[in-house]
Structure 1
Amino acid sequence: MPDLSHLKRLSAVKSNVGVKFLTPSAFPGSHCPLHPALALAGNIKGLSSLVVGTPECATYSRIVLRNAQDRQGEQHWTYVLDASEVVFGCRKGLMDALQKMDRSGAKAVLLLATCVPDLIGEDIEGLVREAQPKLSMRLISVMMGHFKCNSFPSGSWKTLQAIGVLMEPRTVQPYVINVMGRSPDEKHIPLPSILRVLQQQGFSLRCLAPGASLEDFLAAPDAALNLVLTPFADPLATAMEQSFGIPAFRLHTVYDAAEIAALYAAIAKKLGLQWGNEFNREQLEALSLQEQARKRLNGCRFICTDIGPVRTMPLAAFLTAMGMEPVLLHLEEFWPDDKYWADALNALGYDPLVCHMVNSDADAPLLESLAPDLCLGDLNSVKGRIPCVPYLSDLYGLSGYDRTNSLLKKILHKLEQPSRSKEGGARHGIA
């Protein structure tokens, strides 16, 4: 069996740094946290950006932002460090650049410091504090050193968290709800049933995600509550809970039908409404599918690869509670609350290996050696040799009972199909 001794067990991981690559691979480009940070900056109306780094970072930022609209009061600049600044710092040059952006009409600027400013110890936060009183525009910053992380999600959640710094207290509007993680431009994706029912009850839904405006984010402290649909918005929701007392209800970590019912009841209580029979059909379907899954999945060994916008740890905890055995989990990010989910898995008697998978061709032989009964996520290199549940990105936009039902249907459907090894014989059978 190939050596996996370099990987850590889940119980030994305390942060993202502890999650090792499955194979000696690196994944630059879209895997860099600068990518989602730039994508966010280019898709929040009214937010400008200034990228500080090497010529490579500047070129890359032009590629990511090539479709950014030329909106009034919005600019996307780059500041390329010269050799002297790499050694002695770039404080003076950055101050000059920020003053130019201010004079050019920028309303709010996200300063993105890449690897080199971080490596040389440039005090970006101190510079922001010093510069702000001299500028009419608002200024926020994020450190985007790729060498400090193995993945890209921090580019999204740190940027959203930084935007939260611009928020100020507002009078609460009892019929306004922040939907954190759904874009106002997603007209083609049906509303989750809970959002549809809230609209029917007369609530105004403010979507906070790419496609929203900076003004939407600045108005967010007036909401009665935050509904969190993605992990990328979770740190911002936590910060708003602490700063403004806005309760956050997290839909992206809940799968069990009973837990969904309890969460919906808590939301109804907070808003002072009654759901009636709105979710009865979905709830009954979820309970039925969970019962089928418990019988069918008991003892089934599984691995997780890239599962898109779905968080690995809550999903693994849900499936393990139904009798599945987690063998190896790909963690794109070790999120701030993943220690909670790690404890939940450990309490169930499991301590799986964890890793980053970034090169499916190189990773495939190692994954095959584990002989799992099921793989959650795409794994094209071993197609047909390990039963895979692909297209989990289809769960994007779903929440509550709808998401649980869709997930369990995908898994049960896959396990109805016998898996064949490359030699043509049954390898995993029907788990």
Structure 2
Amino acid sequence: MYSLDILNKLDDIKEDKDIKSLSHAIFPGTHCPLFGVALTASYIKNMPLVIVGTSECTYYTKNFAYHRQKGKDSVYSIALKEKEVVFGAQKIVENAIKQIIEIENPDAVMIVTTCVPELIGEDYSSIKYSLEDVVDIPIFVVNTEHFKCNSHIPGMSRALKSLSSAMKKCENQSGVNILGHRQDDVENTELIKLLKNHNVNINTVIPSKCDIKSINNAPKSKLNIVTDMIALDLAKEMQKKFDIDYVYFDKHMNKKTILKNYEKLGKVLEIDLISDLQEEIKIYDELFEKCSNLLNNKKLIYGNTPMMAFETVDFLSDLGLEPLFVQVRELYDQDIKYKENISKKGFNPYISRIANIAPLRHLYDEIGANIYIGHENPMLLKQKGLTQITLDSHAQKIGYELPIGIMKDLIKLFEIDKEKIGGMMHASL
């Protein structure tokens, strides 16, 4: 029988190892870093992926490319046989890259290794040097190492960081790069619209709107704006190699945090962004007050969303929701201040690893929440008297538009029928 007693509560979480799962068998489980690499690298134009590993891993990536990305990825599989596992496969990989270049004429190639070659210690990072006399395009090498981590996030970070090896130092720096944005239509975000209104040039958006040429020239920018945690390693590498400063402007929801970020950008770029945001700030305040009245004392289970768990729960608890159970991937450095904020407000929810929904389903009655934010079976939640909302449609937003969108959906959800206990609404409404 599953029990909440095996979990630690928020106040007991001091480091990542303090976060436990409800069961040792995790279902449905997290994605592996290979998924993260494929998801990220697929945006970069004319760059094939070469997946090196067992047939399961290589098939998984090709299947993902065909279905999830509508076949736009160019994914090649090098499925290792027993002989290659014992004696190595570097020559096979080198020959494969030569053939791919001959067939596709790509702008770059990304080699992605998986657990088996990594466990036996085969390192393909030297391939870009062994082929430099015959290949004149960048060759990136990314290790996935799922045996060392618990999610797909490291794969995304490593894929982006590897791109710095193709960047070239530029003089006369101007404009900005957007790092980490991994959704389409970045030009429609609040941040980009504001910058363009002030004639700030957007040099490149990595990874969602770039090619190898724009990656090569990324260091011509005077500032990197990091809109997702996955690009922090790339930003730090560019700061180290090219002395380019960065501002971390993730999916923040707190009014003051967003304001500070816009003030930082304005100071570096010598423009006034705050004056243009007065209407958004007014709308934020009005929605915040309305949300607080509707949500006060309602109880929350937080699940899987595109946002940072502790930061989102901190914001939701400011709106009046009481967090009872929070699912997280791991404890990141960026989480600490939000974790402390939640605790200071007197909340001490159970904390568990994400993607272990099966055992959690046995405990919904015991937890006693009203609202489930994240992905789950909507019919099951309805049976348990839980109102569901997902936040996926807000994942591309940057700035005040993000919390404004979330609050509007929460208000719409509870104004449909204030007396209704069960129900489901997806954030695309």
Give matches, 1:82-101, under 5 Å.
Answer: 82-98=81-97, 100-101=99-100
Residue type at the aligned position of 2:4: L
Counterpart CA distance in 1 for 2:127 and 2:341 is 40
Unaligned runs of 5+ in 1: 423-431
Give matches, 1:9-408, under 5 Å.
Answer: 9-10=9-10, 11-12=12-13, 14-15=15-16, 19-23=19-23, 24-27=25-28, 31-66=31-66, 67-69=70-72, 76-98=75-97, 100-101=99-100, 105-125=105-125, 127-128=126-127, 131=130, 133=132, 135-174=135-174, 176-182=175-181, 186=185, 191-205=188-202, 206-275=204-273, 277-307=275-305, 309-322=306-319, 324-332=321-329, 334-358=331-355, 360=357, 362-379=359-376, 380=378, 381-383=380-382, 385-408=384-407
- 1:386/1:419 contact within 8 Å kept: no
Corresponding residue SS for 1:207: strand
Quote how far apart the aligned CAs of 1:81 are.
1.3
Corresponding residue SS for 1:418: coil
Counterpart CA distance in 1 for 2:331 and 2:37 is 18
- 2:370/2:387 contact within 8 Å kept: no
Counterpart CA distance in 2 for 1:409 and 1:40 is 30
Deviations 1:373-410 (A, max 9, x none): 32222431212534434131121222222211121222
Deviations 1:78-110 (A, max 9, x none): 222111232343344434444555666554221
Residue type at the aligned position of 1:257: K
Identical counterparts, % of pairs = 23
Aligned residues: 411
Cα separation, partners in 2 of 1:339 and 1:274, compared to 1, 3 Å: closer
Corresponding residue SS for 2:363: helix
Deviations 1:241-264 (A, max 9, x none): 343333323332422223222221
Quote how far apart the aligned CAs of 1:54 are.
0.9
Partner of 1:411: 410
Counterpart CA distance in 2 for 1:270 and 1:110 is 34
Quote how far apart the aligned CAs of 1:116 are.
0.9
Residue type at the aligned position of 1:280: Q
- 2:394/2:406 contact within 8 Å kept: yes
Deviations 1:306-363 (A, max 9, x none): 22x2222211122334554322222245445334433443444444333334364553
- 2:303/2:375 contact within 8 Å kept: yes
Deviations 1:194-233 (A, max 9, x none): 3212212212223222342122222221113223333333
Cα separation, partners in 2 of 1:373 and 1:49, compared to 1, 3 Å: same
Counterpart CA distance in 2 for 1:243 and 1:86 is 36
TM-score when normalising by structure 1: 0.82
Cα separation, partners in 2 of 1:62 and 1:294, compared to 1, 3 Å: closer
Residue type at the aligned position of 1:261: L
Unaligned runs of 5+ in 2: 424-429
Counterpart CA distance in 1 for 2:282 and 2:158 is 38
Counterpart CA distance in 1 for 2:41 and 2:256 is 38
